[in-house]
Amino acid sequence: MFEGAAPRRHLSFDIRSRPSDTRAMIELEQARQSIFAALAPLPPEPVPLEAAVGRVASEPILSPIDLPTFDNSAVDGYAVSATDLRAARPEAPVKLELLGRVAAGQVFAGKVRPGTCVRLFTGSALPPGADAVVMVEHTTRQGDRVQITKAVAAGDNIVPVGSEAKRGERLLSPGLRLDYAAIAVAASTGRSRLLVYRKPQVAVLATGDEIVDIDVPPGANQIRNSNSYSLAAQVQAAGGEPVLLPIAPDEPARLRELIADGLEADLLLLAGGVSMGKYDLVEQVLAEFQAEFFFTGVLIQPGKPVVFGRIPGRVPSGAGATAGEHPASPPTHTYFFGLPGNPVSTMVTFELFARPVIEALAGMTPRKLMSLHARLKSEIKTKTGLKRFLPAILSGEFEHAEVELAGWHGSGDVAAMARSNCYIVIAPDRDCIAAAEWVPVLMM
């Protein structure tokens, strides 16, 4: 699916054409599965290697040559013929004549004959005639002779030609997000430009009559807009390009206008207005755009009212510029999320659902959530029925990993979120977790 841009597939999952009063509540795993099934990457574009970190490769990187290109030494020592040293041991050292030295990058003109050796350094090319390297630690230099106290076998301490990669071998596959090691692979194969998938444009639209922007002092009962900014930061970290829209009031005409603007992007993130209150208009207005809803609620807390779907009819920029064998894509969709407006709910639902959508549009092979186990510092009491993601602080390492709640005062507590570095994950059937129990932890 990620070899070039595959045509977009249609979802078989529970698409509803209209929101209803009874929300389609599904489990977390089912919700994430429907996301992974839905999406294909955006078209590729070339970028210089220096700009490729964090982008997703859309082509494989093959080795154009054998790596390494010559037999070389893995250690500091002496190139020898292993048969000369068959009997070498501390009580019976073997003496060899020293012919010269090969620094890294140099080529030795002579040849290692029986009874001789050549000084090498890590990375030095193995001179002809030698079939092993003895480490300098097992030798004593005596003028133009070297006394050696250890036997070696043919091949010892040599990195053979082609042992890291054969010519034509695939070193990186499409779908990999390029980190510093992948950049090193591209550099070592001489690639100064790489084909990567286009970055998804992600429109961010905060909604709510009570929300004011950050440079406006909030009046009585008003709240500063933090969601647009936290979402923009999360979009960037996920590999997308955020586009901030003005705040939408809880009023259908203006909301409709701003949603229409947001549909120019590859993905639209709405925050707020998806609970079931009188002023929660987001689903209703999305439905006017012929939205298909994949889910309108997930059995999690925080974040239960999260909505995911798509709106048809948009031709993506760059359609037709796809990887060659596929014809121009047909008119396709803009995906959208209605994320709950409580800032912690917005952040959690972004990480669980919106991040994988951005990653898939950016061409990344789907990946699992990053989790580990840690010992709970103090008891947690909660209610059953929903899978919970509680902001928490992980301390200690490995077998000493310990975790405690971040002292969370509800879904609006961004300061507690900022103190946290993970979530404690609580299964829906648990209402009490005892201190010292090992609990699953999702890393932020």
| Interaction site with ligand AMP (CB under 6 A) | 206, 208, 210-211, 223, 225-228, 271-273, 275, 340-343
| Size of the chain in residues | 444
Nearest to Mg ion of 77, 302 (CB atom): 302
72 binds, among ligand AMP, Mg ion, none (CB under 5 to 8 A by kind): none
Q: Tell me if residue 256 falls in helix, strand or coil.
A: helix
User: ∠43-46-52 over CA atoms, to 5°?
Assistant: 105
124 binds, among ligand AMP, Mg ion, none (CB under 5 to 8 A by kind): none
Nearest to ligand AMP of 256, 375 (CB atom): 256
CA 140 to chain centre: 50
Query: Shortest distance, CB of residue 332 to ligand AMP, whole angstroms?
Result: 29
Task: Locate 383 and state its tokens.
Answer: 């209610």
329 binds, among ligand AMP, Mg ion, none (CB under 5 to 8 A by kind): none
Nearest to ligand AMP of 243, 376 (CB atom): 243
Are 25 and 127 in contact by the 8 Å Cβ rule? The answer is no
271 binds, among ligand AMP, Mg ion, none (CB under 5 to 8 A by kind): ligand AMP
Query: Shortest distance, CB of residue 208 to ligand AMP, whole angstroms?
Result: 5
Show Cβ contacts of residue 268 under 8 Å, excluding neighbours closer than 6 positions: 202, 203, 205, 259, 262, 334, 335, 336, 337
Beta bridge partners of 307: 338
Query: Shortest distance, CB of residue 412 to ligand AMP, whole angstroms?
Result: 6
Query: Shortest distance, CB of residue 374 to Mg ion, whole angstroms?
Result: 35
Query: Shortest distance, CB of residue 203 to ligand AMP, whole angstroms?
Result: 14
Query: Shortest distance, CB of residue 161 to ligand AMP, whole angstroms?
Result: 59
CB atoms within 10 A of CB 360: 26
Contact residues toward Mg ion (CB under 5 A) are 208, 272-273, 341
Nearest to ligand AMP of 150, 419 (CB atom): 419
225 binds, among Mg ion, ligand AMP, none (CB under 5 to 8 A by kind): ligand AMP
Distance CA 311, CA 293 (A): 9
> Nearest-CA neighbor of 23 among 256, 401, 305, 325?
305
Are 120 and 126 in contact by the 8 Å Cβ rule? The answer is yes
342 binds, among ligand AMP, Mg ion, none (CB under 5 to 8 A by kind): ligand AMP
Distance CA 216, CA 223 (A): 10
Query: Shortest distance, CB of residue 357 to Mg ion, whole angstroms?
Result: 22
Closest residue to bound ligand AMP by CB: 341
421 binds, among Mg ion, ligand AMP, none (CB under 5 to 8 A by kind): none
Q: Tell me if residue 37 falls in helix, strand or coil.
A: helix
Are 125 and 106 in contact by the 8 Å Cβ rule? The answer is yes
223 binds, among Mg ion, ligand AMP, none (CB under 5 to 8 A by kind): ligand AMP
Show Cβ contacts of residue 399 under 8 Å, excluding neighbours closer than 6 positions: none
Query: Shortest distance, CB of residue 246 to ligand AMP, whole angstroms?
Result: 12
Distance CA 95, CA 84 (A): 9
Distances (CA, A) of 271 to 257, 274, 283: 16, 8, 12
Nearest to ligand AMP of 240, 272 (CB atom): 272
Nearest to Mg ion of 125, 339 (CB atom): 339
Query: Shortest distance, CB of residue 236 to ligand AMP, whole angstroms?
Result: 17
Nearest to ligand AMP of 243, 361 (CB atom): 243
Closest residue to bound Mg ion by CB: 208
> Which residue is associated with the tokens 């133009």?
144
Nearest to ligand AMP of 224, 375 (CB atom): 224
